[in-house]
Amino acid sequence: MKTLNKHSYSLSFIIFSFLILSLIGCETKKEESKVVMNKPEPKNWAERLGYPAGKKVIILHADDIGMCEEANIAVKPMLKNKYIQSAAIMMPCEFAEEFVQWAKNHPNMDIGLHLTLTSEWKNYRWGPVADPKEVPSLIDPDGKFWHEVPDVAKHATAEDVEKEIRAQIEKSIALGYKPDHIDTHMGTLYGRPDYVKAFYKVAEEYGIPANAIELSDPKAVEGFRAKGYPIDESVVKLANNYSLPKVDNFTSAPNAKTYKEKIAKFKELIQSLQPGLTEIIFHPSVETDNLKSITASWQQRKWEAQMFGDPDLIKFFKEEGIIFTNWKEIMKRFKK
């Protein structure tokens, strides 16, 4: 009897202990659930991607690579020295293939395509990658792309736009390089809602992020409308349904009359930004007589090849607590 009582007592103690532990476990799970439920929703794309809350996360992005040799020469050391984080190639242009080969030899660099539908310069011009017979609405009387975005929006069908941007991506892939991202030269792919639809559609099909902008905030929509972008409700809906990562803001390096003023204006731009993920574009090139014959903006381009390696600006970025990223890193975080 005594042995039976001892065993009964031990069994009762074990059952009692198990019940206590179970109750403690339930309470712990409840507390964990409360923590999860009380966790604030991310306010912007930087937070969604796991960057610290309240921080300005920036992509310094060089446009117009491949447009001329001067652009290619300028941007390579900028990327190698990590002064900037990203660049994009204009596939219809003369020096595009040279930079694609460079990108292949530097796989850690973030290199995308600057999808091109305009040919803006007076004497230095280019046409489509696709067979011109397949995209007739993209071509002006000179057999080149239209000069300006309004010209494209007036004449070019969305079908031809989609064919051409696919052709530019396919040309890069055929050369052995899948771009890390795609964006739009002169903002042309935001020139009409049906162009935006084609842009996002192609990005999602290839799994290559576009420089899509978060448009859930009405203030952001109004801001881009004020800059001339025809953002209607259909574009907002397209942006909301877009399945790849977006930027919270998109802007460009301001022009200036002197190099000192350009640095000062760029600092002002950085300080004016709200926390979140921002892409800032610019157009670096080395100074040559050829560049001067192409564009009157050569001085701005020369300064933009110089300024991001300037110790004063580098120190400023550190003091402001800026976090830099690129599209490779964004996609790694997004896929997690």
Q: What is the DSSP letter of 273?
A: P
Question: Which residues, including other chains, have CB under 8 Å from residue 72's CB and lie 6 or more apart?
Answer: 65, 66, 95, 98, 99, 102
HEC readout, 42-100: CCCHHHHCCCCCCCEEEEEEEEEECCCHHHHHHHHHHHHCCCCCEEEECCCCCCHHHHH
pTM of the predicted structure, to 2 decimals: 0.87
| Cα–Cα dist 258/303, whole Å | 9
Picking from 221, 253, 250, the residue whose alpha carbon sits closest to that of residue 234 is 221
For tokens 């020295």, the residue is 81
Number of other CB atoms surrounding residue 166 within 10 Å: 18
- Three-state DSSP at 40 gives coil
pLDDT at 235: 94
Show pLDDT as tens, one digit a residue, over the chain (336 residues): 444 454 444 444 444 444 444 544 545 555 554 444 566 678 899 999 999 999 999 999 999 999 999 999 999 999 999 999 999 999 999 999 999 999 999 999 999 999 999 999 999 999 999 999 999 999 999 999 999 999 999 999 999 999 999 999 999 999 999 999 999 999 999 999 999 999 999 999 999 999 999 999 888 898 888 888 889 999 999 999 999 999 999 999 999 999 999 999 999 999 999 999 999 999 999 999 999 999 999 999 999 999 999 999 999 999 999 999 999 999 999 998
